[in-house]
Amino acid sequence: MTGAPAADVDRASRAESGRVLVAMSGGVDSSVAAALLHRSGHDVVGATMKTFCYSEVDGPSNTCCGLEGIADARSVASRLGFPHMVYDVEEDFARDVIDNFVAEYAEGRTPIPCVRCNSFTKFRDLVHRADRLGCDGLATGHYARIRHRGGTPVLCRAEDDHKDQTYFLWGIPREVLGRLHLPIGETEKPRVREIARELGLENAEKPESYEICFVPDNDYAGVLRTYLGEDHPSLSSGPFRLRDGTEVGRHDGYAHFTVGQRKGLPGGFDEPMYVLDIEPGTRTVTIGPEEALDSATLRAGDANWLVPDPPEPGERVGVRVRHGAPVVDGRVTERGDGEFALELRTAQRAVTPGQSAVLYRDDVVLGGGVIWE
């Protein structure tokens, strides 16, 4: 019982500031988020999700949620002196995220597993854990902000549009917003860097977690082969066709393609060609020139709304159709049960089935859906 480090902030005052469960991947952003909350006097508990069986992945796991991430998150918790737990969501993650990922590719679409994870696994699970652990708050290391508009908590874009991660967050349960802390989105970048350095994370050289955590080396075709089998139609030979139906070559599986892709297409055309459409039934990958990619309308399903007053038909909204793309002007043309349709003021390139359409009112995230067409 001797030799424990001296207390800095006493326990009672931390308890008053509120107990917060912080989802920690082991990466810089969520580590700094935890540090910020801890420093501001919250009673912090770190939690790292184990999403799949790492022993099935060869070599050192360099993705955010890998085994190394667990150790890194733990060491940050040890350094700052708050409890940390690892919990296993393998089963839920496999069902809600990986199975969907595989099924979507098999259907010729291009899914975003991080959206699925946030929508179905991570936040829901965090809420339940937080309740059981007596945590009022939850936190993640996302670049986004929580604001109160007329007493209602809303999710807002990060100041820095390049860093904004709201594109991945439209599907989270709306009830979460009232207790969600996003300290990274509230902190200036130099400050985040400074804290990372103080925590000894500066030299960690952690890759940004854009790589999908269960897809080592970005080899998603490898994952599909594992789940679907080598001879699944999506991984079997099929035709490249022009819009008029002319066959212009063969590919080795439509799962290797996504709408808007240029790489791996037959050459010999006057202009660069792009994937325009994927038709799983005939394994056809339709290609065409860049302008044919443009589309000024879209329909989306699996909609989720993060505001009490979702946009009505006719309302002008900001729209983002892929991560990193600018928010463009659009108008809601229909809104039904879990779906909506949009008209974009200027046609957007490669509106891709499976990706998300996220709607904004100024910087407030209204919600979003998965693009059907």
Partner 1 sequence: MPEKSAWNSPARAGYDRSVMENIYLDHAATAPIRDEVWASMASARGQADYNAASTHAFGRAADDHLESARRTLSGLLGAPRSRLRFTGGGTASDNLAVLGFARAHAGSSPRLLVSEIEHRAVLQAAARAGSEGADVTHLPVDADGRLDLDALERELERGDDRRPTLVSVMWANNEIGTVQPVKEACEAAHAHGALFHTDAVQALGKVPVSLEDVPADLLTATAHKLGGPVGIGLLVVDQDVEIEPLFYGGEQEKGAWPGTQNPVAAVGFAEAARLAVEERADRAGTWSRWRRKLEGSLRDRLDGLRVRGGGAPERLPHLLNVGVPGCDQAELLVSLDMEGVAVSSGSACSSGAVEPSHVLEALGEPPPDETGTIRISFGPSTTGEQVRAAGDAVVRVVRRLRGASVAGAAGGAALGTSDAGDGA
Which residues are near partner 1 by CB under 8 A?
A: 1-11, 14, 19, 35, 38, 43, 45, 47-48, 50, 54, 67, 70-71, 74, 79-88, 129, 132-134, 198-200
Q: In terms of CB distance, is 62 or 333 closer to partner 1?
A: 62
Q: In terms of CB distance, is 137 or 367 closer to partner 1?
A: 137
- Rounded CA Rg of the chain: 22
Supply the minimum distance, in Å, between the C-beta of residue 120 and partner 1: 19
Residues annotated as catalytic are 117, 213
123 CB burial (10 A radius; 0-12, 13-18, 19+) = buried
Supply the minimum distance, in Å, between the C-beta of residue 139 and partner 1: 16
**Phi and psi at residue 224, to the nearest 5°:** -65, -40
- Give the Cα separation of 175 and 180 in Å (integer): 9
Q: In terms of CB distance, is 198 or 252 closer to partner 1?
A: 198
Strands, sheet with 43-50, edge to edge from the N-terminal-most edge strand: 84-88, 43-50, 19-23, 137-139, 180-181
Neighbours of 195 (CB within 10 A): 21
Helix (H, G, I), strand (E, B) or coil at 358: strand
Supply the minimum distance, in Å, between the C-beta of residue 215 and partner 1: 19
Supply the minimum distance, in Å, between the C-beta of residue 6 and partner 1: 6
Q: In terms of CB distance, is 32 or 332 closer to partner 1?
A: 32
Q: Which two tokens stand for residue 326?
A: 């600018």
Q: How far is CA 147 from the centre of its chain?
A: 21
Neighbours of 2 (CB within 10 A): 3
Q: In terms of CB distance, is 44 or 300 closer to partner 1?
A: 44
Q: How far is CA 148 from the centre of its chain?
A: 23
236 CB burial (10 A radius; 0-12, 13-18, 19+) = middle
72-84 burial string, b = 16+ CB within 10 Å, else e?
bbbbbbeebebeb
Q: Which two tokens stand for residue 212?
A: 């999908």
Supply the minimum distance, in Å, between the C-beta of residue 259 and partner 1: 38
Q: In terms of CB distance, is 84 or 320 closer to partner 1?
A: 84
Supply the minimum distance, in Å, between the C-beta of residue 140 and partner 1: 18
Q: Which two tokens stand for residue 350?
A: 């490669």
- Single-letter amino acid code for the residue at 95: R
- Give the Cα separation of 282 and 167 in Å (integer): 32
- Angle subtended at Cα 117 by Cα 57 and Cα 348, rounded to the nearest 5 degrees: 110
Supply the minimum distance, in Å, between the C-beta of residue 174 and partner 1: 23
**Phi and psi at residue 298, to the nearest 5°:** -155, 155
Q: In terms of CB distance, is 8 or 329 closer to partner 1?
A: 8
